[in-house]
Structure formats: structure tokens, C-alpha cells
Amino acid sequence: MKEVVLKAVNLHKSYKTFDDLHILKGISLTLKQNESIAIMGSSGAGKTTLLHILGTLESFDSGKINILNSSSKNNEIRNKHIGFIFQAYNLIDDLTLLENVLMPALIARKNILSKSPAYKRALNLLKEVGLTKRKNHLAKELSGGEKQRATIARAFLNDPDIILADEPSGNLDFKNSEIIHKLLIDSVKKYNKSLIIATHDKKLAALCDKIYYLENGKFLK
Ligand SMILES: Nc1ncnc2c1ncn2[C@@H]1O[C@H](COP(=O)(O)OP(=O)(O)O)[C@@H](O)[C@H]1O
Ligand SMILES: [Mg+2]
């Protein structure tokens, strides 16, 4: 039987702004090892909110999340078990691609000097996403497609069990979207990762093992 890597039970989330926005109204989800789940839903449905909550980047009102039965602090769980890919890339413009890709190791207080395991892994991942020649370029010098390929390398750097991807091709043209989808799905399979991806793209969602539709705060049955 495959191991459960992430289990969320009955999550509720409200944003207490000028009116009370009840965004998630009882979301439950189980992600197993090597499994991929697509979350679809219109803009504003709460996909980003849900991914941030699952990745321990955002608080929630009630419910439970269990990530690999870990009782560690959220930042430790994040550093060890979760890799993020964001629609807006979230690269640091004035650092090189290599430095950006090394960032998760730096945050996890690992050695990132040349010849360290993290450094070698970063070079290897940059090679796999086809960016070896670009490794010393500043992030701001790259195209959208190249930036998103770099964020895939960054997400895999700490060898996390779970990859959370938020509309990874949302800012890309058709050709680059296809490249990103293939790279992401292939990398997840190759490295035996589990994936949750928020996407509008039906073709990408169809590549995943399961698709959930988020509407009015709940998954459609
Ligand atoms: N920090 C916040 N404060 C208040 N409202 C927010 C915040 N973040 C998101 N929202 C609102 O929550 C809803 C869901 O947003 P989001 O999770 O970004 O949806 P999606 O990713 O599906 O487009 C939207 O109505 C959005 O305006
Ligand atoms: Mg979003």
C-alpha cells in the first residue's frame, strides 16, 4: 500500500476583511506517495489559499493537516518535505539562477558552497531543466519560460516529498506551457514525488491521477 504523504481533513478558512470571506468550507484531501492531484476552479475560488495552507505558508481556522506524520515546526516541515512552484516565479531578480536555485538549501541552513552536496545538486537540476548555460545569469535577464524552469529546479533542490505548484504555466505562452508541464510531470515521476497542482489547464490536469474541482469553498462531488 502506498504511504500517505499529506492528509487534510475538513479545512476551513476565512479572510476577515471588511466582510467575512469564507473561502474554504470543509476541504478534505489525501495525497499518496507518487500521486498527482490537480485542483481546478475559477479565479478566486481559493486554489492559491488552499495550496498555501497545505504548504504551511498560511494559517487556517479549523480542520487538520498531517504531513508525513511529522510533529515538527512548520518551517522545518516546509524545508524538509515541501517544494513550491509559484505562478509569479518568486525568483530574486538580482541573484543568479544558480543562487536562486540554492535558496531552499540556504534557508534550511545547509552548506551551499561550491562542492557541497546542495551545490552539486543545484548544478545537476539546472542541467536537467536545460539551464546550465544560464546558471550565472541574473534572474531578471531570463524569459518567463526560463524563469519557470528555474523554479522547478529550485522546488526539487531539498529533495522534498511533496511538490506544490500554483498555476505554473499561468503566465506562459502555449509552447512554453507545454514544456513546463512535461518537465514538471516527468520530474515528479523520475524523483518519485507527490504533486498537487492548481491549474486552469485541462490538458495538464488530465495528466494527473486525480482532478478536484473547487467551487463555493468545497470540492464538487
Ligand atoms: N490575504 C487575503 N486577504 C483577504 N482576502 C484574500 C486574501 N488572499 C486571498 N483572498 C481572497 O480569497 C479568495 C480566494 O483567493 P485565491 O486563493 O487567490 O483564489 P484562486 O487562487 O483560486 O484564484 C479571493 O476572493 C481573494 O480575493
Ligand atoms: Mg491563484
* pLDDT tens digits, one per residue of 175-188: 889 989 998 998 89
pLDDT at 97 over 90: yes
The whole-angstrom separation of Cα 55 and Cα 212 is: 18
Per-residue pLDDT of 25-42, as tens digits, reads 999 999 999 999 999 999
pLDDT at 10 over 90: yes
Q: How confident is the model at residue 152 (pLDDT cuts 50, 70, 90)?
A: very high
**Cell digits for 30?**
489525501
The residue to mutate among 48, 84, 215, having the most atoms of ligand 1 within 8 angstroms of its beta carbon, is 48
Ligand 1 nearest atom to the CA of residue 43, by list position = 23
Q: How confident is the model at residue 170 (pLDDT cuts 50, 70, 90)?
A: confident
pLDDT at 221 over 80: no
Say which CATH topology domain 4-219 has. Answer: Rossmann fold (3.40.50)
Mean pLDDT of the chain: 94
Q: Closest ligand to 59 CA?
A: 1
> Measuring from atom 17 of ligand 1, which residue has the nearest CA?
46
CA of 41 to the centre of ligand 2 (A): 9
Q: Closest ligand to 171 CA?
A: 2
> Measuring from atom 5 of ligand 1, which residue has the nearest CA?
15
What are the φ and ψ backbone dihedral angles of 2, each rounded to 5 degrees? -75, 145
Q: Which residue has the cell 482532478?
A: 211
CA of 19 to the centre of ligand 1 (A): 13
Long-range residue pairs from 120-126, CB within 8 A, at least 24 positions apart, any chain: 121/157, 121/159, 122/98, 122/153, 122/157, 123/98, 125/101, 125/152, 125/153, 125/156, 125/157, 126/97, 126/98, 126/101, 126/150, 126/153
CA of 109 to the centre of ligand 1 (A): 32
Average pLDDT, integer, range 66-76: 90
- Domain locations in the chain as residue ranges: 4-219
CA of 166 to the centre of ligand 2 (A): 7
Helices (runs of H) and strands (runs of E) counted in the chain: 7, 9
Q: How confident is the model at residue 71 (pLDDT cuts 50, 70, 90)?
A: confident
- Classify 176 as helix, strand or coil: helix
Q: Closest ligand to 46 CA?
A: 1
> Measuring from atom 7 of ligand 1, which residue has the nearest CA?
15
Average pLDDT, integer, range 120-137: 96
> Measuring from atom 8 of ligand 1, which residue has the nearest CA?
49
% of the chain exceeding 70 in pLDDT: 100
Per-residue pLDDT of 193-203, as tens digits, reads 999 999 989 99
Beta carbons within 8 Å of 208's beta carbon, 6+ residues apart: 36, 37, 38, 195, 197
Residue 113 and residue 163 in contact, taking contact as beta carbons nearer than 8 Å: no
CA of 114 to the centre of ligand 2 (A): 36
Average pLDDT, integer, range 10-20: 90
pLDDT at 69: 87
Residue 175 and residue 181 in contact, taking contact as beta carbons nearer than 8 Å: no
